Amino acid sequence: MLVSAPSVSRLNALHCSACGTIHSAFALQRVSACCGVPLVAGYDLAPRPPGAVINAADASMWRYGALLPLLDEKNKVTLGEGFTPILPLPRLGARHGLASLLLKDEGQNPTGSFKARGLSMAVSKALELGVAGCIVPTAGNAGVALAAYCARAGLAATVVMPRHTPAAFKEECYWYGADVELVDGLISDCAARVRQLNAAGALLDVSTLKEPYRLEGKKTMGYEIAEQLGWQLPDVLLYPAGGGTGLIGIWKAFREMQALGWLAPGTRLPRMVAVQAENCCPLLETYEGRQPNCQHYRGRPTLANGLAVPHPLGEALMLRVLRESNGTVVAVSEEDMLAGMRELGQQEGLFVAPEGAAVWMAARRLLASGWARPHEQLLLLNTGSAQKYLDNVAGRSQR
Ligand SMILES: *Cc1c(COP(=O)(O)O)cnc(C)c1O
Ligand SMILES: [Zn+2]
């Protein structure tokens, strides 16, 4: 029997991620007023079967609307994001002796990356909360997604990105009518410029984890993984971590599903792997104890733009996920990203962003070291399509 699926949000609070203090979920919030750290949305998670909560007719991330923070459907700003396929990679798996290798292809999202999820959510809330426009520092994909969703919502968008970002990212923002500022440096330098531009606070700053809504959009990946795998989870999940919203969000979804009673009996949560670029790996440095104060860390540009985040605000939350899941961090070289792109392209017909290629090369490294085992199920998160990265990768399809 089909149970009707109300999408009424069960949002009930925003929690400070450091001290737990509760803040109103019904007013515009940024970071926590108490500690200045990310706020995390809380819901009424009283157990109910998935069929009574999920809107099965909606083939987008909004099928989980009851577990998202949008209060009124009329404010939803959507381009059909989410509910991306999980593809088995049989040829690649067999080549490396793996029993079950899976890839969730976030490159199939509107605007070509999983940033669509977070920004669909954040722009919808911006509309609901009545702000005039949004601003973001970005390595590329977040800016493109913000520009697209703001255009669709009729809101102003300001995008601040490094000058060295491949042209396709800038160009797409222009076509959506966004204001684009180019800055010499990395995303951390763009963030400083955003603070200047938005000193008066007229715009909603949708920087990673400086508002609680992008995280909620990203968490839908966790719900989808469980639903698509029949309420079971892989043994190991590999994610390319820049600011870390995907890693933190997916883990949050797993915890929420435990509370909701949705996971198959005996299901263990995956070991979560954060994959970084050797050129910019602050999380690895902290994880290995070399860099207790991340403010001094200097990253270099990388082919994987999305991983060039020298000072992630969510570092403590990422480390918590790694600790709770028995996970680890791996950093991948630029050459290895290209090798991973070639292998995924030639073996499976996938043109993945360098971030996604890094994830595959990290899996190979963990298999070689014995940290991951051939009989385990590995799920790779490919966060974007390679199309917009051509400035950096064109001509390098052969060694
Ligand atoms: C932004 C981005 C990442 C990193 O995402 P975070 O949520 O910042 O960890 C990874 N891959 C791609 C393609 C991205 O655009
Ligand atoms: Zn606090």
Q: Determine which residue's CA is closest to atom 10 belonging to ligand 1.
A: 306
Pocket of ligand 1 contains residue 385 by CB under 6 Å: no
Same domain membership, residue 227 and residue 98: yes
Q: Determine which residue's CA is closest to atom 9 belonging to ligand 1.
A: 244
Dist. CA 3 → ligand 1 center (Å): 36
Q: State the residue range of the domain holding 171.
A: 115-205
Q: Determine which residue's CA is closest to atom 8 belonging to ligand 1.
A: 243
Q: Determine which residue's CA is closest to atom 14 belonging to ligand 1.
A: 306
Same domain membership, residue 126 and residue 26: no
For residue 393, pLDDT over 60 is answered with: yes
Ligand 1 closest atom vs CA 247: 9
Dist. CA 121 → ligand 1 center (Å): 16
Average pLDDT over every residue of 20-28: 94
Pocket of ligand 1 contains residue 380 by CB under 6 Å: no
* Domain end among 205, 231, 251: 205
Asked, for residue 6, whether it belongs to a domain, the answer is no
Average pLDDT over every residue of 67-75: 97
Looking at residue 289, its pLDDT comes to 86
Asked, for residue 147, whether it belongs to a domain, the answer is yes
Same domain membership, residue 387 and residue 300: yes
- Which pairs with CB-CB distance under 8 Å and at least 24 residues apart come from 70-75? 70/9, 70/121, 70/124, 70/125, 70/128, 71/9, 71/11, 71/26, 71/128, 72/128, 73/7, 75/124, 75/125, 75/127, 75/128
Looking at residue 294, its pLDDT comes to 59
Mean pLDDT of all residues belonging to the chain = 95
Dist. CA 363 → ligand 2 center (Å): 36
Looking at residue 290, its pLDDT comes to 81
Same domain membership, residue 259 and residue 327: yes
The three-state secondary structure class of 22 is strand
Ligand nearest to the CA of 241: 1
Give residue-wise pLDDT tens across range 360-369.
999 999 999 9
Looking at residue 2, its pLDDT comes to 41
For residue 7, pLDDT over 80 is answered with: no
Q: Determine which residue's CA is closest to atom 4 belonging to ligand 1.
A: 242
Dist. CA 21 → ligand 2 center (Å): 5
Backbone angles phi, psi at 115, to 5 degrees: -60, -25
Same domain membership, residue 238 and residue 357: yes
The three-state secondary structure class of 139 is coil
Dist. CA 76 → ligand 1 center (Å): 23
Asked, for residue 398, whether it belongs to a domain, the answer is no
* Domain end among 155, 172, 205: 205
Give the ranges where the chain is alpha helix by DSSP (H): 90-95, 115-129, 141-153, 167-175, 187-197, 213-228, 245-260, 282-287, 315-325, 334-348, 354-369, 390-393
Looking at residue 297, its pLDDT comes to 81
Give residue-wise pLDDT tens across range 203-247.
999 999 999 999 999 999 999 999 999 999 999 999 999 999 999
Ligand nearest to the CA of 38: 2
Asked, for residue 345, whether it belongs to a domain, the answer is yes
* Domain end among 205, 224, 240: 205
Give the ranges where 288-332 is alpha helix by DSSP (H): 315-325
Q: Which of 105-119, 288-302, 327-341, 384-398 has the lowest mean pLDDT?
A: 288-302
First-to-last alpha carbon distance for the chain, in angstroms, is 55
Same domain membership, residue 27 and residue 61: yes
Separation between Cα atoms, residue 129 and residue 50, nearest integer Å: 29
Cβ atoms within 10 Å of 53's Cβ, excluding its own:
20
Dist. CA 15 → ligand 2 center (Å): 8
CATH of the domain at 191: 3.40.50.1100
Looking at residue 295, its pLDDT comes to 66
Q: How many separate domains does the chain show?
A: 3
Same domain membership, residue 167 and residue 98: no
Q: Name the residue with higher pLDDT: 264 or 291.
A: 264
For residue 6, pLDDT over 80 is answered with: no
Same domain membership, residue 389 and residue 244: yes
Same domain membership, residue 224 and residue 363: yes
Same domain membership, residue 263 and residue 164: no
Asked, for residue 2, whether it belongs to a domain, the answer is no
∠ Cα 229 379 299 (to 5°): 140
Same domain membership, residue 341 and residue 220: yes
Asked, for residue 327, whether it belongs to a domain, the answer is yes
Same domain membership, residue 249 and residue 310: yes
Backbone angles phi, psi at 24, to 5 degrees: -60, 135
Ligand nearest to the CA of 304: 1
Asked, for residue 1, whether it belongs to a domain, the answer is no
Looking at residue 293, its pLDDT comes to 58
Looking at residue 3, its pLDDT comes to 41
Pocket of ligand 1 contains residue 306 by CB under 6 Å: yes
**pTM across the whole model:** 0.96
Asked, for residue 4, whether it belongs to a domain, the answer is no
Separation between Cα atoms, residue 273 and residue 366, nearest integer Å: 10
